[in-house]
């Protein structure tokens, strides 16, 4: 096969697979089976298109093949007799000319149903991520495995288990309504943000695969924001991811070392992503904008809006962290608030915030608490106390480079 045809098929798959799988899932009411049928159609395309050329309407071609396979598969499965009747009826009801399938008005709703099903809360977040990348983003199992640094066989098994779990739990192919919606939506958003963070924060693996993961996550987020446009948090997550990603090329130095926000060359920030992200944040705020992603996006936006590090609105950031603490009740968020308060009102004010964290059990062995306190005490000229905090932080960290850095600060205090 020529690589040009292979690339064309990859591209068609990228464009069509989510709508194909989603459309099939509506008919067969089983996303696992829908995905298998779509894969069968892809195999048929790989066999036939190199000879015949890519058809004029590749999406309709794939759908027609997958539907034929669906009828065959289900006819063979005697126990699914009722589904055959259902399928037969669906097909006779939908005498759609092939070239109209692509702009079927139901299809986008189906893609949203697919996202909700792939991210159902019966699945672990890792399983949700794998299914979403496979079925919604159209990545191959190999690509997903490479991005998450696991063996292809491991990832394939995870996907198979997840599909089986959905079938066994009899998860309906639908967008939840009413009270269930908020919970189910947060389970989708969590999976998308995990994909993003895997790309954004992980240090291992090829740089290429990492940047790709961020892009996949942003794309999934934008799809969700377009399809569930009335939900504030979908726009907020897009804003958060895009504003963070705008700094990707400024946050590593020539030797791959991390460049902190205050030292980044802001001219290297991706203005297009910032503009798009800030517009998404505006939409989130119009729709309420009080959720956890919205607050985090507002904090990210404070940095994005500052032309220079010293222009940063730390008063607002400190106040936003206060909102986030109320929402999450997380002591780690409170520690972040302490840093923001120190930037806004000086080290003494920040230190007072950290005093309130000294008795929190969850932070007892968390090296960043003494590290932040050491930094604030050093700024206040309380060097003996600063040294003790840095030494304690050095004891607690498991990262060698960080320990060396902390010990250096201890001895210079």
Partner 1 sequence: MKVMVLGKATERSEAGEFGTAEEFAAMDLFNEKLVEAGVVLAGDGLQPTSKGKRVAFDADGNTTVIDGPFAETKELVAGFSIWEVASMDEAVEWVKRSPLRNCEVELRKVLDAEDFAESFGAEIAAAEQQLRTEPAANQ
- In sequence order, which ranges of 202-254 are alpha helices (DSSP H)? 207-227, 232-245
Q: Which stretch binds partner 1 (CB under 8 A): 125-133, 259-267, 322-330, 394-402?
A: 259-267
CB of 305 vs partner 1, minimal distance in Å: 17
Q: Which stretch binds partner 1 (CB under 8 A): 35-43, 269-277, 287-295, 351-359?
A: 269-277
Contacting partner 1 (CB under 8 A), which of 177, 230, 308, 384? 308
CB of 61 vs partner 1, minimal distance in Å: 13
- 198, containing H or E segment: helix 179-201
CA distances, 369 to each of 315, 342, 348, 402, 403 (Å) = 21, 14, 15, 14, 14
CB of 217 vs partner 1, minimal distance in Å: 10
> Phi-psi category of 170—alpha, beta or left, where left has phi over 0 and alpha has psi -120 to 50?
left
CB of 216 vs partner 1, minimal distance in Å: 8
CA distances, 348 to each of 262, 358, 390 (Å) = 21, 16, 17
Contacting partner 1 (CB under 8 A), which of 140, 215, 290, 383? 215
Size of the residue set binding partner 1 (CB under 8 A)? 39
**346 forms part of the interface with partner 1 (CB under 8 A):** no
Output 41 or 341, the one with its CB closest to partner 1. 41
How many angstroms from the chain centroid is the CA of residue 322? 25
Contacting partner 1 (CB under 8 A), which of 276, 303, 387, 409? 276
Q: Which stretch binds partner 1 (CB under 8 A): 73-81, 121-129, 169-177, 265-273?
A: 265-273
Concatenated DSSP letters of 268-329: GS-HHHHHHHHHHHHHHHHT---SHHHHHHHHHHHHHH-SSGGG--HHHHHHHHHHHHHHH-
Percent helix, percent strand, percent coil in the chain, to nearest 5: 75, 0, 25
Output 57 or 124, the one with its CB closest to partner 1. 57
- Give contact residues for partner 1 (rule: CB under 8 A): 7-8, 10-12, 14-15, 18, 102-103, 108, 111, 208, 212, 215, 218-223, 226-227, 249, 253-255, 259, 263-268, 272-273, 275-276, 308
């Amino acid at each position: 096969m020529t690589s040009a045809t292979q690339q064309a098929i990859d591209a068609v798959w990228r464009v069509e697979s989510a709508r194909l799988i989603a459309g099939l899932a509506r008919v067969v009411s089983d996303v696992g089976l829908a995905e298998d049928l779509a894969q069968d159609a892809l195999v048929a395309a790989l066999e036939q298109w190199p000879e015949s050329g890519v058809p004029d309407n590749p999406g309709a071609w794939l759908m027609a093949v997958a539907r034929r396979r669906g009828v065959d598969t289900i006819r063979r499965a005697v126990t699914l007799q009722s589904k055959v009747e259902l399928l037969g009826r669906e097909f006779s009801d939908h005498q759609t000319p092939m070239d109209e399938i692509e702009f079927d008005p139901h299809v986008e709703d189906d893609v949203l149903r697919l996202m909700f099903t792939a991210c159902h809360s019966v699945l672990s977040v890792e399983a949700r991520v794998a299914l979403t990348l496979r079925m919604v983003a159209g990545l191959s199992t190999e690509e997903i495995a490479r991005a998450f640094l696991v063996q292809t066989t491991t990832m394939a098994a995870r996907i198979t288990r997840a599909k089986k779990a959905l079938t066994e739990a009899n998860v309906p192919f639908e967008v939840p309504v009413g009270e269930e919606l908020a919970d189910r939506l947060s389970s989708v958003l969590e999976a998308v943000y995990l994909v993003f963070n895997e790309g954004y924060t992980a240090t291992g693996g090829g740089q290429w695969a990492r940047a790709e993961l961020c892009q996949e996550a942003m794309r999934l987020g934008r799809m969700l924001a377009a399809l569930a446009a009335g939900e504030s948090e979908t726009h907020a997550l897009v804003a958060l991811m895009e504003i963070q990603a705008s700094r990707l090329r400024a946050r590593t130095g020539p030797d791959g070392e991390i460049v902190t926000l205050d030292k980044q060359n802001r001219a290297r920030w991706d203005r297009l992503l910032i503009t798009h992200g800030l517009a998404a944040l505006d939409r989130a705020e119009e729709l309420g904008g009080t959720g956890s992603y919205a607050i985090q996006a507002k904090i990210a936006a404070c940095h994005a809006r500052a032309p220079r590090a010293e222009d940063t609105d730390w008063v607002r950031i400190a106040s936003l962290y206060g909102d986030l603490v109320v929402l999450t009740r997380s002591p780690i968020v409170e520690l972040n608030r302490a840093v923001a308060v120190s930037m806004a009102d000086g080290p003494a004010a920040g230190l007072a915030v950290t005093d309130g964290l000294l008795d929190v059990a969850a932070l007892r062995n968390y090296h960043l608490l003494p590290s932040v306190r050491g930094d604030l005490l050093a700024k206040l000229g309380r060097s003996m106390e600063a040294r003790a905090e840095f030494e304690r932080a050095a004891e607690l960290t498991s990262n060698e480079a960080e320990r060396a850095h902390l010990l250096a600060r201890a001895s210079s205090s």
